[in-house]
Chain A
Amino acid sequence: MKAPLSRFAHTRSGDKGDTVNIGVIAWREEDYPVLVRELTAERVKAFFGEMVKGTVERFELPNLGALNFLLHESLGGGGTVTLRVDAQGKTYGAALLRMEIDV
């Protein structure tokens, strides 16, 4: 069965230069293994498609029931160079909540 990530996690995103980071936090700690299994770096990269030009890295924080993703080359140059309305990638975390995962 598929369900949107928003049912299992909340997120916060921000920037470091041209890289977006998205913290994905399980609503309930028992759902953390679902996030680990379903939210691979490859799937997150594929989900964002052309929005992410570079690689996607994933880090695990089991103590917080959370994953941290780095989406490289995702902000049109980032910082003050970018022409994007969301210059700091602050809405990327919410965008990821649309992703359908197997549950």
Chain B
Amino acid sequence: MIRIANGQGFWGDWLEAPVRLVEQGPIDYLILDYLAEVTMSILQKQKLADPSKGYASDFPPLIARLAPAIRERGIKVIANAGGVNPRACAKAVLAAAPGLKVAVVVGDDVFSRIDELLAKGHEMRDMDTGAPLNRIRDRILSANAYIGAFPLAEALATGADIVIAGRSTDTALALAPMVHRFGWGPGDYNQLAAGTIAGHIVECGAQCTGGNCQVDWQTIPDMANIGYPIVEAEPDGSFVVTKHSGTGGRVSRDTVKEQLLYELGDPKKYLTPDCSADFTSIQLADAGTDRVHVSGIRGGPRPETLKLSISFADGWKAIGTLVYSWPQALEKAKAADAIVRARLCQLGLSFEEIRTEYLGVNACHGTVAPVVQDPAEVQLRIGVRDRDRKAVDRFTRELVPLVLNGPPGATGFGDGRPPVREIVAYWPALLPREEIQTSVEVFS
């Protein structure tokens, strides 16, 4: 049995979580998921400004903090902290924690190969809209192939203390140590599917240990000290989901079920670079306090294509808010919205989209929210989106004046006008897997 713990559900997750996983009980592997779809483009911009950047900058200081435990207890760390510059990440880790052995998986980054791939006839159409990639060619900011567990397992086989990848899938981080330790091959469909589903359960950190859980949430103990998830994996593909004893939170069939359904598509065809996993084969059983046993998982062969994560610049947006208080808070907010729109119209400004929401009334549940009678306050939230940055910037100056020249009772403008942000949009596409050759480099 091996223990695999996930200490980071996204870049920005709780900084203490990985440290506590190491300090509060036994683990063999610590995995850390840093990359969301748009993170790569942010890192690409950082790398363009400074060639030594472009990775998850929280990662090297974390490794420095964990280095004594890594050395003394032989804990291995696997992270997709490399972003668009995994070699620079490795160097920063070695500078922060000298003496460790670091292996880097490269080959996922195809940003510099886009024209070559287009010339070969790969259209890389948007999987959602079907549009060909050449439509946004000049606005691409980053392009990476999602890579699976086998390149990470190859990196573990070098004996490295730390494995750094770029755009590996979240699930591969958990599956890789199982492939490495149990010797699973590409044809071991059921085991690969089991390890993939283990990865899906833990990939969002505490979201399977009581975080964001609807079931009896008021009774979930000690959320301030919530334990992050640990998978106890067996060579046959069965596993237990648990957390360190003495930590807060809860692991139950309910918490695990909620996470199994999170961001799920067709449950019979959960595709990764490693396999196809069948979520309708999963069997859950209680196995003691804060322990759920998972078994019975079936899988199928991996797809012949790899998914690409491409990001591109798609215009500008700004979102501003004002708060209106009782009485007639909603009426005032609606009147203010009409005034803003009239003034924008007088300025000759139009936008690809302008959207108004009333927080406290129906912003989340829209038309299915019940009518609220005369609320104590309402937050007016107006957003605009357009290719024309100047138009978006002009909009940001139209909200604060309402405090003096609009309906009564406006407040909550303390931050002044809202910032204009560039929209970095996501373009999912497919590429034949033979176009992607990964390799492992060792730094020490």
Q: Is the CB of B426 within 8 A of A12?
A: no
Q: Is the CB of B128 within 8 A of A10?
A: no
Q: Mark A1-35, 1 if CB is under 8 A from B, else 0.
A: 00000000011101111110101110000000000
Q: Is the CB of A79 within 8 A of B319?
A: no
Q: Is the CB of B258 within 8 A of A91?
A: no
Q: Is the CB of B423 within 8 A of A80?
A: yes
Q: How far is the CA of A10 from the CA of B260 in the complex (A)?
A: 13
Is A43 part of the contact surface with B, judged by Cβ < 8 Å?
Answer: no
Q: How far is the CA of A51 from the CA of B357 in the complex (A)?
A: 13
Is A95 part of the contact surface with B, judged by Cβ < 8 Å?
Answer: yes
Q: How far is the CA of A84 from the CA of B413 in the complex (A)?
A: 20
Known: A12-B212, A23-B260. A80 touches B280 (CB 8 A): no
Q: Is the CB of A86 within 8 A of B364?
A: yes
Q: Is the CB of B257 within 8 A of A25?
A: yes
Residues from chain B with a CB closer than 8 A to the CB of A60 are: 280
Contact pick for B257, options A19, A66, A86, CB 8 Å? A66
Chain A nearest CB from B198 CB (Å) reads: 16
- For chain A, residues 46 to 60, give those with C-beta under 8 angstroms from any C-beta of chain B: 47-51, 59-60
Contact pick for A15, options B38, B263, B369, CB 8 Å? B263
Q: Mark B385-427, 1 if CB is under 8 A from A, else 0.
A: 1000000000000000000000000000000000000011110
Q: Is the CB of B263 within 8 A of A17?
A: no
Which of A21, A24, A85 neighbours the largest number of chain B CB atoms within 10 Å of its CB? A85
Q: How far is the CA of A10 from the CA of B261 in the complex (A)?
A: 11
Residue of B nearest to A9 (CB): B214
Residues from chain B with a CB closer than 8 A to the CB of A93 are: 214
Q: Is the CB of B317 within 8 A of A68?
A: no
| Tier of interface size on chain A | 35 or more
Is B373 part of the contact surface with A, judged by Cβ < 8 Å?
Answer: no
Give the segment of B154-162, B226-234, B281-289, B433-441 that binds chain A: B281-289
Q: How far is the CA of A10 from the CA of B212 in the complex (A)?
A: 12
Contact pick for B368, options A11, A19, A98, CB 8 Å? A98
Q: How far is the CA of A65 from the CA of B254 in the complex (A)?
A: 11
Chain B nearest CB from A76 CB (Å) reads: 7
Residues from chain B with a CB closer than 8 A to the CB of A18 are: 128
Q: Mark B366-390, 1 if CB is under 8 A from A, else 0.
A: 1111100000000001011100000
Residue of A nearest to B363 (CB): A85
Give the segment of B113-121, B170-178, B179-187, B264-272 that binds chain A: B264-272
Is B37 part of the contact surface with A, judged by Cβ < 8 Å?
Answer: yes
Q: Is the CB of B282 within 8 A of A68?
A: no
Residues from chain B with a CB closer than 8 A to the CB of A41 are: none
Residue of A nearest to B260 (CB): A64
Q: How far is the CA of A49 from the CA of B366 in the complex (A)?
A: 10
Q: Is the CB of B364 within 8 A of A70?
A: no
Contact pick for B363, options A49, A68, A79, A86, CB 8 Å? A86
Is A81 part of the contact surface with B, judged by Cβ < 8 Å?
Answer: yes
Q: Is the CB of A49 within 8 A of B355?
A: no
Q: How far is the CA of A23 from the CA of B267 in the complex (A)?
A: 11
- For chain B, residues 275 to 334, give those with C-beta under 8 angstroms from any C-beta of chain A: 279-284, 314, 317, 319
Binding site for A on B (CB under 8 A): 37-38, 128, 212, 214-215, 254, 257-268, 279-284, 314, 317, 319, 353, 355, 357, 359, 363-370, 381, 383-385, 423-426, 428
Q: List 24 A-B contacts (CB under 8 A).
A: A10-B215, A10-B258, A11-B214, A14-B263, A16-B265, A17-B428, A23-B262, A48-B367, A51-B367, A51-B368, A59-B268, A60-B280, A76-B353, A80-B424, A81-B425, A84-B357, A84-B363, A85-B357, A85-B359, A85-B363, A91-B364, A95-B364, A98-B368, A98-B370
Told that A12-B259, A61-B280, A81-B425 touch, could you supply 20 new A-B pairs with CB distance under 8 A? A10-B215, A10-B254, A12-B212, A12-B262, A17-B426, A18-B128, A25-B261, A63-B280, A64-B261, A70-B265, A80-B425, A81-B385, A83-B384, A84-B355, A84-B357, A85-B359, A85-B381, A86-B363, A94-B214, A95-B369
